Amino acid sequence: MDDRDLAADLERLQGLIGTRFSNTDYLLTAVTHRSYLNEHREATWDHNERLEFLGDAVLELVVTDYLFRTYNEKPEGELTAIRAALVNTISLAAASEALGVNPFLLMSKGEAKDEGRARQYILANVFEAIIGALYLDQGYAAAATFISGRLFHFTDEIVRKRLWQDPKSRFQELAQEKASITPTYETIMQEGPDHDRVFTIGVFLRHEKIAEGKGRSKQEAEQQAALRAIEVRGWGEG
C-alpha cells in the first residue's frame, strides 16, 4: 500500500469488509504493523497492537456465545477446544486472506518479503485488529456480524472431523476405533546443531510405518506425523 493511495485503498478495504467506517483512522490503524512506523516516521497514526488486543477479546466472546448456543450438548472442555481450533493463527490467517487484506497491509519492506509463518501471524493479528476497529466504530453487533460471516461456517467441519483435537490425540482415537491398535512413535533422524535441531519421527501401527513428520521438537514432529497419518489412511472425513 503506497502512502499516496491510502484514501483509495481504505475505500476498497471497506468494500471488502462490507461496511463504511465513521472513522477510517481505526481501519488504517488496524492494517498497520509496528515495523511500518519504524520506516515511516511521518505517519501520524498508531500500529495495530492495541486494536488486536481489543479484537481478540471481542472475538472470544462472540465465538463463545455462538458455540454455547449452537452445541448445547457439549461439555465445557470440548467447547473450549473447538473455540481454540476456530480462532487459532491458521484459521484467522486464512479468514484474513479470504477477506483479501494482503494488498492493504502496511509493514516494513523486510516484513513484506516474508511469506511464511511470520506472515500468517501478521494476517491473524490484522483480522483481530479489524474486529477491534469495527467494535470501536460501530459497536458489538457490527463486530459480531463480521465474525459470524467470516468464521462460523468453519465450525461444522471442525466438529465433524474432530479438528478441535490435536492430531496425535485424534490419530490415536481413530487408530483404536478403526484398527484396534494404539500408535507408537519412533525417532528416525535428528539433524542440525543443538540450538537448531530438527527431528524426523515416524508413526507406526504395530510394525507398519504409516507416516513421518518433522519439527523443531519431538512433540511438533509427532503431531506432524500424526496429521499425515490421518491423511494417508483417509480417516480425515470421519
Grid cell of 57 as nine digits = 477479546
**Residues carrying an active site annotation:** 56, 128
Cα–Cα distance for residue pair 209/99, rounded to 1 Å: 40
Grid cell of 32 as nine digits = 498497520
Grid cell of 134 as nine digits = 469495527
- Extract long-range pairs of 136-142: CB within 8 Å, 24+ residues apart: 136/23, 136/26, 136/51, 136/54, 137/21, 137/22, 137/23, 137/26, 137/27, 138/19, 138/21, 138/22, 140/58, 142/19
| Beta-sheet pairing, 198-205 with 184-191 | antiparallel
